[in-house]
Every structure is written in C-alpha cells, then in structure tokens.
Amino acid sequence: MEKYNFIDFLSRFMNDVEELEIFKVINELPTFFANNMWVAGGAIRRTLMGKELDSDFDLFFRNEDTLNRYAKLLVDKGANKTSSNQHQITYSLTLAGKPRIIQLIKIGYYLSAKEVIDSFDFTITQFAYDGTDLYCGKYSLWDLARKRLALHKLTYGVVTMRRMIKYTNQGFTACTGVMQSILNAVIENPQVVRSEVQYVD
C-alpha cells in the first residue's frame, strides 16, 4: 500500500487543489470519524483523472456502530434515504450545489484503509481517503495513468464482470491477461461467482 497527503499529492500536478469538487463535497459532509471511516472508489479515481464527479460517494466503515452514527448525522443534515439492502444504504443530499448520492457500504467492515483497498477487485479502484491521506494499491496509480485494467482480487465474480464492461466503456483496456485472471479465479473457486451480490462503484 502507498500513502500520500492527498492535497500535497494533487498539488504536484493540479492548481487550486482545495477548490476541487471532492473537497467541497467532503467539507459539506458531516465530519469523518477519524480512523473509523473512509471514502473510496470512483470519486477519488475521477478526481485523480481530472474528471467531473458524476459517481457516488462510497463510504466504508470500521464497524456497524460507526455506520449507524454517521447515517444519523446525514439525516440530521437533511439527507433522504433512497434505498437499503444487505450491502449498502443509499442517501441523496445536495452538496456543493449539486444532488449527490452517498452510499454507506455495509457488505463488510474494515480495521484500516489497507483492508478497504485490499478488498477491491481492480487495481484502478484501490483508492481510499480518510480526510487527510490518500491510500492506494502498489500498482494503482501506474495502472490508472495507463488506463489499464488489472485484477487485484476476485471476490464477487459477476459484479467484477459487470464492472469490467463499465470500465472498458470508460476507455480502460481489459487485456487478455485480466480476463484470464478472472477465469482462473473462478476455476479455482467457483463460489466467487456470487451472482446474488448487487454491489458498488
């Protein structure tokens, strides 16, 4: 895992970093519980790519109690719950002048940012932010810069296949190697197909 001060890191190649959309949104969210929650996934990836944030804000938690406490803070701020299932609770809230989708992820709980990003399937999704620091996988920045899909871990096979299609539609390249990695993982453990899981990013 790699770790950087997120603002310092972005300042290497962007101007007016503190005015970026991701920080405006996070500054209007209830304050994060330190060392107990992280924003991860698409919002960070799109920020690093210099793209507009049209993705959800996925929040991951250390435990259910922290998730429930944060959900109450969102409701107190005016968020509307739009859906809930065994994997996530989804809220809608206007932040930084636009309606935003905030997803509280409960498919798993994590002791650290490292555990969060280690649970993700593709290296280009391995990003988490705790309000100060950016955490990423060893190859995440490299693969993101080259728009290359590489498999980190296969846990939910059908979801990963859907996400592979989504990312290729966004201009990422799924080489033969990543497809072979997915097939090999399914052959080694057919349980990872997990077609019942409706998941995130």
- Cα(126)–Cα(41) distance, rounded to whole angstroms? 7
Whats the size of the chain, residue-wise? 201
Question: Which helix H or strand E contains 116, and what residues bound it?
Answer: helix 113-118
Q: Which two tokens stand for residue 79?
A: 């968020």
Mean pLDDT of 5-17: 95
Classify strands 37-40 and 57-61 as parallel, antiparallel or unpaired. antiparallel
201 pLDDT more than 80 = no
Q: What is the pTM of this model?
A: 0.88
In percent, how much of the chain has pLDDT > 90?
74
Strand, coil or helix: 152: coil
* Residue with tokens 């997803």, as numbered in its chain: 103
Q: Is 48 exposed, middle or buried (0-12, 13-18, 19+ CB in 10 A)?
A: buried
Distances in Å between the alpha carbon of 157 and those of 15, 55, 89, 195? 39, 22, 22, 7
User: Which DSSP string do the residues of 29-94 spell out, in sequence order?
Assistant: SPPP-TTTEEEESHHHHHHHTT----S-EEEEESSHHHHHHHHHHHHHTT-EEEEE-SSEEEEEEE
Q: Give, as one character, the DSSP assignment of residue 191.
A: G
95-154 per-position pLDDT tens digit = 999 999 999 999 999 999 999 999 999 999 999 999 999 999 999 999 999 999 999 988
What residue ranges define each of the domains in the chain, with the CATH number in brackets?
2-140 (3.30.460.10)
pLDDT at 99: 95
CB atoms within 10 A of CB 160: 24
Beta-carbon contacts of 157 under 8 Å, excluding residues fewer than 6 positions away, are 182, 185, 186, 192, 193, 194, 195
